[in-house]
């Protein structure tokens, strides 16, 4: 799949899959979307906790992990973050994205460390953030039961990759969550929410980021 780096409406960049008309983030604003969906409706929801574990489906550019590492340090919360990615982004693409330019000088080393950390190992990125990047397909990966508190479900949309929104994969996501944990995603498609409900999730509709009416948070009660 050929990819190119493009600019989104809030000035931050993302990657586009040429030919598929699919992007890694919203064209209405990559940074805005990541903050709205994964930080505000995700990590922030558990801000009173001293420590949490996050699983990300689709590590991609590492933007969600980067923002989570900065938020964890701001909240003084310990975060163990596992991100799965089948097709890692290249160093050249990371350079073009210029996400380090979005933050203060002192936070830039965190971004570098995220991308330099070894795949398959739990690595300490800062006092508050540990990262394990897993290079694999979600369908082919076993995950520990009742382990994570939050899942960032950031697969390509169902139009491009319908199989990533199936009952089977949501069952896997449900099983690896702790009771009281939740999955959060930008997607609000009816069939996706029905598949979540089929495995036992309680589905909550939330206002979406700019350019999108709704997003979804699904709870394991
Ligand atoms: C919407 S993008 C994710 C964007 C990412 N969270 C970010 O902030 O850059 C979807 C990601 O899922 C990855 N992906 C696609 N199929 C996958 C699979 N079967 N297992 C794991 N990752 C997959 C893609 O390579 C891509 O990086």
Regarding the beta carbon of 33 and ligand 1, being less than 6 Å apart is answered: no
Q: pLDDT tens for residues 147-167?
A: 999 999 999 999 999 999 999
Q: How far is the CA of 145 from the centre of ligand 1 (A)?
A: 22
Average pLDDT over residues 189-212: 98
Q: Please tell me the predicted confidence (pLDDT) of residue 219.
A: 98
Question: How many other C-beta atoms lie within 10 A of the C-beta of residue 10?
Answer: 17
Name which residue leads in pLDDT, 106 or 45: 45
Q: How far is the CA of 9 from the centre of ligand 1 (A)?
A: 21
Regarding the beta carbon of 14 and ligand 1, being less than 6 Å apart is answered: no
Q: How far is the CA of 60 from the centre of ligand 1 (A)?
A: 5
Regarding the beta carbon of 156 and ligand 1, being less than 6 Å apart is answered: yes
The CATH number assigned to the domain holding 120 equals: 3.40.50.150
Q: Please tell me the predicted confidence (pLDDT) of residue 19.
A: 85
Hunting for tokens 């160093």 — which residue is that?
A: 91
Confidence grade of residue 104 (pLDDT, cut at 50, 70, 90): confident
Domain that holds residue 174: 29-219
Within a domain: 173: yes
Which residue, by CA, sits nearest to atom 2 of ligand 1? 24
Q: DSSP H helical segments within 145-210, as ranges? A: 167-176, 190-198
Q: Which atom of ligand 1 is nearest to the CA of 141?
A: 20
Q: Which atom of ligand 1 is nearest to the CA of 56?
A: 6
Residue 190 exposed, middle or buried by CB count within 10 Å (0-12, 13-18, 19+): exposed
* Cα(140)–Cα(136) distance, integer angstroms: 7
Mean pLDDT of the chain: 97
Average pLDDT over residues 112-129: 97
Within a domain: 12: no
Within a domain: 14: no
Q: Please tell me the predicted confidence (pLDDT) of residue 57.
A: 98
Q: pLDDT tens for residues 31-53?
A: 999 999 999 999 999 999 999 99
Within a domain: 97: yes
Residue of 22, 54, 58, 119 to mutate, ligand 1, most atoms within 8 A of C-beta: 58
Within a domain: 16: no
Average pLDDT over residues 67-81: 97
Within a domain: 75: yes
Please report how many Cα atoms fall inside a 13 Å half-sphere around the Cα of residue 205, on the Cβ side. 9
Q: pLDDT tens for residues 123-132?
A: 999 999 999 9
Which residue, by CA, sits nearest to atom 8 of ligand 1? 63
Q: Please tell me the predicted confidence (pLDDT) of residue 105.
A: 86
Domain count, the chain: 1
Hunting for tokens 């702790």 — which residue is that?
A: 178
Cα dihedral sign, 18-19-25-30: positive
Which pTM does this prediction carry?
Answer: 0.98
Q: Please tell me the predicted confidence (pLDDT) of residue 76.
A: 97
Q: pLDDT tens for residues 1-24?
A: 799 999 999 999 999 999 888 999
Query: Residue 171's closest CA among 204, 133, 143, 206?
Result: 143
Q: How far is the CA of 59 from the centre of ligand 1 (A)?
A: 6
Question: What are the residues whose beta carbons fall under 8 Å from the beta carbon of 88, sequence distance 6 or more?
Answer: 59, 119, 135
Within a domain: 57: yes
Within a domain: 100: yes
Which residue, by CA, sits nearest to atom 13 of ligand 1? 58
Regarding the beta carbon of 84 and ligand 1, being less than 6 Å apart is answered: yes
Query: Residue 155's closest CA among 94, 216, 99?
Result: 216
Average pLDDT over residues 128-155: 98
């Amino acid at each position: 799949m050929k990819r190119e780096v493009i600019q989104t409406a809030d000035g931050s960049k993302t990657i586009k899959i040429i030919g598929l008309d699919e992007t890694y983030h919203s064209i209405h604003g990559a940074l805005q979307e990541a903050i709205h969906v994964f930080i505000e409706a995700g990590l922030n929801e558990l801000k009173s906790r001293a420590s949490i574990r996050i699983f990300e489906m689709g590590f991609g550019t590492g933007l969600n992990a980067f923002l989570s590492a900065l938020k964890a340090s701001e909240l003084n919360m310990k975060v163990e973050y596992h991100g799965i990615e089948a097709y890692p982004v290249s160093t050249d693409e990371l350079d073009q994205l210029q996400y380090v330019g979005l933050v203060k000088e002192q936070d830039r080393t965190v971004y570098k460390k995220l991308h330099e950390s070894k795949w398959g190992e739990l690595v300490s990125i800062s006092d508050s953030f540990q990262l394990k990047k897993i290079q694999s397909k979600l369908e082919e990966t076993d995950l520990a039961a009742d382990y994570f508190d939050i899942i960032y479900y950031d697969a390509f949309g169902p139009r491009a990759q319908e199989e990533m929104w199936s009952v089977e994969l949501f069952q896997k996501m449900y099983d690896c969550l702790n009771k009281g944990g939740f999955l959060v995603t930008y997607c609000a498609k009816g069939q996706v929410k029905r598949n979540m409900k089929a495995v036992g999730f309680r589905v909550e509709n939330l206002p979406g980021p700019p350019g999108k009416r709704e997003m979804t948070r699904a709870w394991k009660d």
